[in-house]
Amino acid sequence: MELVLSQILAGLSTGGIYACMALAIVMIYQAIDHLNFAQGEMAMFSTFIAWQLLHWGLPYWLAFFLTIGISFVGGVLIERIVFKPLKNAPVLSHIVVFIALFAILNSGAGFIWDFTIKSFPTPFGTTPLFGTLISSHDAGMISVTIIVLLLLYAFFRYTRVGLAMRATAANPESARLVGIRVGWMIALGWGMAAAIGAVAGMMIAPVVFLEPNMMISILLYGFAGAVVGGLTSPFGAVIGGFSIGIIENLSGFIPYVGRELKLTIALALIVAVLTVRPSGLFGRVIVTRV
Amino acid sequence: MSEILLSARHLCAFYGATRVLHGIDFDIVEGSVTAFLGANGAGKTSTLRALSGMIETTGEIRFGGQAVAGKTTEELARLGIAHVPEGRGTFSRMTIEENLQLGAMSRKDRAGIAADIERVDGYFPRLRERAHQQAGTMSGGEQQMLAIGRALMMRPKLMLLDEPSFGLAPLMVDEVYAILRKLKEDEGVSMLLVEQNAAAALALADQAYLIETGEIVMSGLAQEIGRDENIRRAYLGY
Amino acid sequence: MSKRDALQRSNCARGQLAKPQVLLTIVALVIAVLLPLAVKNFVLFQLTLAMAYGIAILGLSLLTGFNGQFSLGHSAFFALGAYTAAIMMDRWGISYIWTLPVAGIVSLVFGFLFGLPALRLQGIYLALATFSLAVATPQLLKSKPLEPLTGGVQGIVIIKPDAPFGLPLSSDQWLYYLTLAVVVVMFTCAANLINSRTGRALIAIRDNPIAARAMGVDISLYKALTFGVSAFYTGIAGALGAIVIQFVAPDSFTFAFAIALFVGLVVGGVDSIAGALFGGLFVLFVPNIAEQVSKGLAGAVYGVIMILAIYVMPSGAAGLVRLVVSKVARIRATK
């Protein structure tokens, strides 16, 4: 029993990672109505930038916020330079460009900073809390995720820009008709998603260590968490992320399941959830009159 | 007194390589209601889309003294053209209140916006009742009212309405047109109205243009066109 | 000729060939047949593999391009076909020729079975589900219970077949012609399928499922069947791939391969039958080119080439061809 409990708590701390990632994913989905497959690589690249700043001697929190700013600008630039010219291309072509972005960032990071594993510091220390079940970093990470979530919620619900962004994602043509500068809304969405991804990356790196491939499985788990939670719900994304973390750890109890199959189990459960509730657990079921 | 608010000269419009408007000319007088009438596919919707910068055009469009041909949809909206599109263009996933707030997106005067929401609710009490309901769950008539309300929130100089009677039951059509009449008489809103339902449109409009396959075949006072039996039978189907 | 036949003939369905297209196809075939005389064995090997990828992409095209079901998991069916062939040849000593239909049928069944629950999923959710399949595949292949059959991490080695009946062809040349024959047969079948009533039903389901259902199309059956047929094609491609490479291992069939197939699909043109072949060539040759440009930045170069390809051909190579053809037709019409 104690073993199960400790696995659940361990799942909560890895779940915090996935929740953070899932939040970034839902964020960009709200902004551009697409899933950004390069999200993880953008977060990874941002984390490398932070590492570089720290390497050059900047104090942690300065590097942290500077990286967020740089990532925001980077996100906006990527949208304006790479995706704007593709406005009229079909959806599937967009996805290929996401994939290309993934390859470019992954390869680029490896080229600039090489593939050796680096350590990344945490501002929260690593003192174990509640016995050895959860560390202070995990607690810090979960807190940061919740803060970002609350900020996002407030942004979308209570600000005009947030409303304009939601409108742009929902119906770009109508958004134009009321005077919303749709192009800039989309760019803003990208910038915000890049910034959130940077936060996620900097929170995750101390745990999984920094190297160009660090985000790939996390991105998958993050997607799974976002989809299970329902892509229209940042709250659901966070819950989804935590759930995936717990499921992943608990599936270690199933016989024959080594580390490799854990991901498969998690994904299989996602598919099962989706078959029963196609819009995810907390997703708003969109009612449209035909 | 009666200034020309918008004028178009030699206006051609294209969907890709296909030309759908063949050099039309028209004027819209400030404070009046102009009707564009014609059969399905005649080019009425294309005219509105051309005025909103939604499709490719050549030719001249002057609005409030400026040349505006080639401007983007959002720029034209910010200049004061409120387009209520075909199919209403409602933000169906958002609440009614949010839809109205979105109408005021390009405005900065908070007090004015709040006052205007009150005003719009006054015209459409049903909207106030359902302020927090998802817009996509409303009936066609209610969505039409919402679309007009949203356009009003823009405090537009010119309202473009694409077939406001489309898909609505006759009683609903009467209600919508009664509201349009109020807007015209109480607030002097200039409107360009595109309609297949010629009778309703002609009852409200001051000027009317008849469009057939992308060309204007007739223009004149709405009353006269409405009275002429030959025109009605030939072009308007009644 | 009945009235219905005449109507069908006059329809401009996408797979149907017009006169200049028939001519082009014949020319292409002639070149393909004569190629081995001019080209080294290694290049033939690459071309054969590219053709196999082309068949796999054609399978994906039937599902995603023509039927609108987004799959990021076709590496799973490719692997299934490949392993079926390898197991049949190495473990059970069956001749390679029989592995093709068997791989196809095994994949068909699995594809159909996967297609059934997938009916409830749309768009990005379906993509995630199929992607899970792709991620799961190498792990399942490595798993302990299946190891005696699959050979675990080390995979299975196959012996390359020689040309039959003592023909004066090298192994590579024979496999090239065999694959070419399979390509011709399967591509023709696909074109006929798309042209038929079934094909039009598929496309209708993609474009407007509600209208399709209202016209009496049994959506569930068609969608699940399309999954099966799509897997059939990709499974046979996998078997061919295994025979040509002479080796199957779990890590040859990661999700990266599923993504590569998808990229090939889009670059070739999602709903183009001929485009699938272009996609296969792209998937095979461009990563090599990228590596030659810069070893350290090979991935980045590949990405840049992908982006450029999309900029120049937003609707794939087939889309570009259609655009050029329609522009030429317009110029001719206005003369």
Domain ranges of chain C: 36-253
Total residues belonging to chain C: 335
Q: What does the DSSP 8-state code read for residue A285? A: P
* Separation between Cα atoms, residue A102 and residue A87, nearest integer Å: 20
pLDDT tens digits for B93-132? 889 999 999 999 888 888 888 888 888 888 888 888 888 8
pTM: 0.81
| Cβ <8 Å between C125 and A96 | no
Cα Rg of chain B (Å, integer)? 17
CB C156 within 8 Å of CB C248 = yes
| Cβ <8 Å between C296 and A110 | yes
Q: In chain B, which segments carry CATH 3.40.50.300?
A: 1-45+58-80+157-238
| Cβ <8 Å between A174 and B85 | yes
Q: What does the DSSP 8-state code read for residue A214? A: T
Which residue reads 């704007």 in tokens?
A: A84
- For residue A6, with 0-12 CB atoms within 10 Å meaning exposed, 13-18 middle and 19 or more buried, which class applies? middle
Q: What does the DSSP 8-state code read for residue B208? A: E
pLDDT for the residue B131:
86
Select the residue from A271, A273, A275, A276 to test the C interface by mutation, using most C Cβ atoms within 10 A.
A271
Topology (CATH level 3) of domain B1-45+58-80+157-238 = Rossmann fold (3.40.50)
- For residue C296, with 0-12 CB atoms within 10 Å meaning exposed, 13-18 middle and 19 or more buried, which class applies? middle
Using CA coordinates, name the residue in chain B closest to A167: B91
pLDDT tens digits for C5-23? 444 444 444 444 566 777 8
Domain ranges of chain A: 2-276
What would the two tokens of residue A288 be?
A: 């449209």
CB B31 within 8 Å of CB B190 = yes
Residue A287 has pLDDT above 70, yes or no: no
* Separation between Cα atoms, residue C64 and residue C118, nearest integer Å: 13
Amino acid found at C214: A
Q: What is the DSSP string of C89-123?
A: IIIS---HHHHHHHHHHHHHHHHHHHHHHHTT--H
CB C59 within 8 Å of CB C261 = no
Considering only CB atoms, A173 lies closest to which of B89, B105, B154, namely: B89
Tell me the pLDDT of chain C (335 aa) as tens digits: 444 444 444 444 444 456 677 788 888 888 888 888 888 888 889 999 999 999 999 999 999 988 888 898 899 999 999 999 999 988 888 888 888 999 999 999 999 998 888 887 777 778 878 888 888 888 888 877 888 888 888 888 888 887 777 778 888 888 888 999 999 999 999 988 988 888 888 888 888 888 888 888 888 888 899 999 999 999 999 999 999 998 899 988 988 899 999 999 999 998 888 899 999 999 999 999 998 888 888 889 999 999 999 999 888 898 888 888 888 887 877 66
CB B99 within 8 Å of CB B146 = yes
Longest dimension (CA), chain C: 70
Total residues belonging to chain B: 238
Considering only CB atoms, A278 lies closest to which of C120, C131, C145, namely: C120
- Triad C325, C331, C335: Cα angle to 5°: 145
Longest dimension (CA), chain B: 52
Backbone angles phi, psi at A257, to 5 degrees: -90, 105
Using CA coordinates, name the residue in chain C closest to A276: C120
| Cβ <8 Å between A177 and B82 | yes
List the subunits that have 3+ CB pairs under 8 angstroms with C.
A
Which among B81, B205, B203 has a CA at the least distance from the CA of B151? B81
Residues in B 87-146 with any Cβ partner in A closer than 8 A: 89-94, 98, 101-103, 105-106, 134, 136-137
What would the two tokens of residue B225 be?
A: 């066109």
The verdict on C323 touching A (C-beta cutoff 8 Å) is no
**In angstroms, how far is the first alpha carbon of chain B from the final one?**
35
CB B38 within 8 Å of CB B162 = no
Residues in A 196-255 with any Cβ partner in C closer than 8 A: 220, 223-224, 227, 231
| Cβ <8 Å between B78 and A179 | yes
**Is domain A2-276 classified as CATH 1.10.3430?**
no
Residues in B 160-179 with any Cβ partner in A closer than 8 A: none
Name residue A118's beta-bridge partners: A210
Which among C301, A289, A210 has a CA at the least distance from the CA of B134? A289
Using CA coordinates, name the residue in chain A closest to B153: A178
Considering only CB atoms, C266 lies closest to which of A92, A103, A256, namely: A92
| Cβ <8 Å between A171 and B105 | no
Other beta carbons within 10 angstroms of residue A182's beta carbon come to: 21
Average pLDDT, chain B: 88
What would the two tokens of residue A236 be?
A: 């659901």
Which residue reads 């090239």 in tokens?
A: C176
What would the two tokens of residue C192 be?
A: 């006929």
